A and B are shown apart, each in its own frame.
Chain A
Amino acid sequence: MTTLTSCERVGTALSQREGDRVPFFLPATMHGAAQLGLTLPEYFARPERVAEGQLAMLALLGHDFVTSFHHAAGEVVAFGGTVEVHEDGPPTPGAPPLREQDLAGLAPPVPEEVAPLRASLETLRLLRARVGGRVDVLGAVIGPFSLPAMQLGLGPWLDLLVEQPALAERLVAVNAEFAARWGAAQLRAGATAIVVAEPLASTQMTPAGLYRRLGLPGLRALAARVAPLVLSLASAPAIRAAPDLLSAGPAGIVAGSGESLAALKATCRGQATVLGGLDGISMRHWTPAECDRRVRLAVGAAARGGGFVLTEHHGEIPVQVPLAVLQEVAEAVRHHGRYPVAPELTDPA
């Protein structure tokens, strides 16, 4: 088959067909800093540096996406939070900015008025200008049901869910409006899809009935205004929540760490593409043989017939993962990910 552009390859996978090879994305959101000779605080201080870092990763890895995602802490700033920068990891949120008594009068912020989000938008525009039409540019939003874990702290959020469901419902509604504004702003700036990080939608985190009642309405409201949308549960299992999540109409769902790709693909068949297959935490120690084995397993489990994108589960590969490992993984995908899938991959026996 003729070699496709990344956009064509991804489009083929999303339409549940086989292209030239499995599309893949290694979300190395921090490795670009070292390529530019910068510390992580220096790197995240300027949107053009993050864009250059993403382009460096694109050139080194040859994967099929770039992302404008800086860090999860930016969205908490919109609600009065702070960002702590580190030399050896992503910026993290400071103490949760909201208290229960703040929620009744809480209004959704305007993303363009928030400095870290403006920086992400600028990165997005730069990336779009450089690779648009050839490579997909991913934006990102924290899900309306999970953002409270950073707004209030996870414990107070779980207390609120159980003890004051009406107030929890209100917070999710405010967050859904904010997420819709933030996602739409990224689409306007050139994102071709928005990744929604909603780990608390997993049944590992929240009972299905509780999520259905208090979380799913927010996701549906977001999905009605932001598309295409890919749901990530940030390494948590997706399969038991998948029927509810699919009702919001996502283009894709990211599998959890260790979760059966084949089972999730069967659940999502005809409705959404499955993404995943790689674990960023253990990746630090992968040998070339292990890189090869992991890619073979993932391709064998989920690639046949399209509808699969190989990626890391959490959405942010730790900076401690050696670049050489990412390059080995990329090489393994180019080798084993070619369509048609080699029979020995789908039939290990």
Chain B
Amino acid sequence: MDAALAIHVFQRALTMGDREAVVRLVAELVPHETRENIIDLALVPALERVGHLWEEGRISLVELYGAGRAAEVATELLEPLPRTRQAGDARVAIAVLEDQHVLGKRLVAAHLRAGGVALLDLGVGLSAPVLVAQALEARVDVLLVSTLMLRGALKVHDVVRRLRDAGSAMRVVVGGAPFRLDPELYLEVGADACGRSAGDALALVHRLGGRCA
């Protein structure tokens, strides 16, 4: 595979949310490449580039979302292929705290699943006690928390406190508008890291939880 070309073509298809083009690309690559090569050398770098374009204000949320949806399609196509790499043991979960807006969670989930992370979805509109109970029960290692409003973002402090009170070393990664507007907020609420866009999620999960694909 010419990785640079594959990344370019994937990025173009993803940015345009062109799911048919993504299906064609995956179909062309599958006979010649392993699942991991397609993910690591083409799909994930293309998604990261799309994330950078969003960060730089060069594409809109509609386009970023379309890219996430197209990546979901690619991931589903690749899912039946055999894995050549041993799965890691980090358990990664995602949830929306105190809000019904699911877009951020969905985007992050699309990036992580495209990157080969087996993700546990804990749901939306969860209170801090409910989220912590679910995460502890599932023995999560890395918990990704999405928020929309400042009120929800500040509740992360309660999540972290409850986890530590329970003796858990679970790593907490936050994201959402309040954390983009106030870059210091994630430290204030005691999170381990903050993702400014969905494109950050994979690297953060790898850093905090070890290689999980």
Contacts and interface: CB of A to CB of B under 8 A. Distances in A.
A276 to B, nearest CB: 14
A158 B151 CA distance: 25
Q: Classify chain B's interface size.
A: 20 to 34
A68 B103 CA distance: 30
Given A282-B181, A320-B154, A204 B61 contact: yes
A88 interface: yes
A222 B28 CA distance: 49
A262 interface: no
Interface in A206-230: 206-207, 210
Interface of B is mostly: helix
B60 A281 contact: no
Contact of B103 (A86, A154, A281, A320): A154
Contact of B106 (A96, A149, A155, A235): A155
A148 interface: no
A153 B151 contact: no
Contacts of B106: 155
Contact of B17 (A86, A162, A282): A162
A149 B184 CA distance: 28
A192 interface: no
Contacts of B99: 92
Contacts, number: 70
A235 B181 contact: yes
Contact of B100 (A89, A95, A162, A281): A95
Contacts of B61: 158, 204-206
B177 to A, nearest CB: 8
A237 B57 contact: yes
B34 to A, nearest CB: 31
Interface string A221-259: 000000000000001010000000000000000000100
Interface stretch (B1-9, B62-70, B159-167, B204-212): B62-70
Interface string A162-197: 100000000000000000000000000000000000
Interface in B27-84: 57, 60-63, 65-66, 69
B184 to A, nearest CB: 8
B150 A204 contact: no
A155 B65 contact: yes
Contact of B62 (A89, A207, A281): A207
B68 to A, nearest CB: 9
B178 A205 contact: no
Interface in B145-189: 149-151, 154, 177-178, 181-182, 184-185
A203 B60 contact: yes
A279 interface: yes
B95 to A, nearest CB: 16
Q: Classify chain A's interface size.
A: 20 to 34
Nearest to A319: B151
A318 interface: yes
Contacts of A279: 181
A318 B102 contact: no
B101 interface: yes
A89 B149 contact: yes
Given A281-B181, A282-B181, A207 B150 contact: no
A94 interface: yes
A89 B57 contact: no
A257 B103 contact: no
A204 B17 CA distance: 16
B181 A153 contact: no
Contacts of B60: 203-207
B157 to A, nearest CB: 12
Contacts of B101: 149, 153-154
Contacts of B154: 88, 320
A93 interface: yes
B62 A93 contact: no
A161 interface: yes
B181 A94 contact: no
B66 A155 contact: no
A86 B66 CA distance: 33
A92 B127 CA distance: 14
A155 B62 contact: no
17 contacts: A89-B150, A89-B151, A90-B149, A92-B99, A93-B100, A153-B101, A153-B103, A155-B102, A159-B69, A162-B17, A203-B57, A207-B63, A235-B177, A235-B181, A279-B181, A282-B181, A320-B150
- Of all A-B residue pairs in the complex, the 5 with the closest CB atoms, nearest first, are A89-B151, A281-B181, A154-B103, A205-B61, A318-B150
Given A207-B62, A281-B181, 5 more contacts: A88-B151, A153-B103, A158-B62, A158-B103, A159-B69
Interface of A: 86, 88-90, 92-96, 149, 153-155, 158-159, 161-162, 203-207, 210, 235, 237, 257, 279, 281-282, 285, 318, 320
